[in-house]
Amino acid sequence: MFSRKETVDRQYLKISREHQIVKDYFLKFQQILFEEKSNTMKMLRKSVKHFEEELLSHFRLEEIFIFPTALLCIPDITTVDLVLKLQKEHGLFERDMKTLLTMIEDTPGTVKEIPDPIRTALSSLTTAFIHHAENEMNVLFPEIDNDERANKIIEGFVK
Ligand SMILES: [Fe+2]
Ligand SMILES: [Fe+2]
């Protein structure tokens, strides 16, 4: 049996782990980009596809669980503004991820060097996502964690 604080910590731990998954993918992308092999495009396609799946389920978790709790419990203008910005960024990431997948799918699997537009798209998506995750980890999650009511809601959610 976990105490309330432990339960909340565990839930945040789960979300942090998902951010870790995201970091792991970025390392994987870097590896694929720098160690070009004969099956580079195939490897890239596979890992970007998996990354998209992980990312979308991570976004859903935040959208049904974290963001509404923040809006309800900490409805000051700064927090509302941050949540709306993060929510909007999720939409942009989904769109950019789809564009990137289309670019990858349109490139023949026999191509040995990753084309520059794909490198650029992958790199800008990575940078933007790291910034997004930092805003969540350093600003929004601690705010929620410090709010008693938000903790009660989270406790109800994880039961
Ligand atoms: Fe997010
Ligand atoms: Fe996140």
> What whole-number distance in Å separates Cα of residue 117 and Cα of residue 125?
12
The answer to the question of residue 158 being in a domain is: no
Ligand nearest to the CA of 133: 2
Ligand nearest to the CA of 88: 1
Beta strands in the chain (DSSP E): none
The answer to the question of residue 159 being in a domain is: no
pLDDT of amino acid 1? 39
Question: What's the CA-to-centroid distance between 87 and ligand 1, angstroms?
Answer: 7
Structural domain span for residue 120: 4-153
DSSP class of residue 3? Answer: -
Question: What's the CA-to-centroid distance between 58 and ligand 2, angstroms?
Answer: 6
Question: What's the CA-to-centroid distance between 111 and ligand 1, angstroms?
Answer: 33
What is each CA distance from 91 to 55, 66, 88, 105, in whole angstroms?
11, 16, 5, 21
Residue type, 48: V
The answer to the question of residue 110 being in a domain is: yes
pLDDT of amino acid 2? 41
pLDDT of amino acid 15? 64
Question: What's the CA-to-centroid distance between 38 and ligand 2, angstroms?
Answer: 34
Question: What's the CA-to-centroid distance between 71 and ligand 1, angstroms?
Answer: 15
**Total of domains in the chain:** 1
The answer to the question of residue 98 being in a domain is: yes
> What whole-number distance in Å separates Cα of residue 52 and Cα of residue 37?
23
Where the chain has pLDDT below 70, the residues are: 1-18, 21, 36, 157-159
pLDDT of amino acid 9? 59
The answer to the question of residue 46 being in a domain is: yes
Provide the 10 A C-beta neighbour count for residue 97. 19
Question: What's the CA-to-centroid distance between 137 and ligand 2, angstroms?
Answer: 8
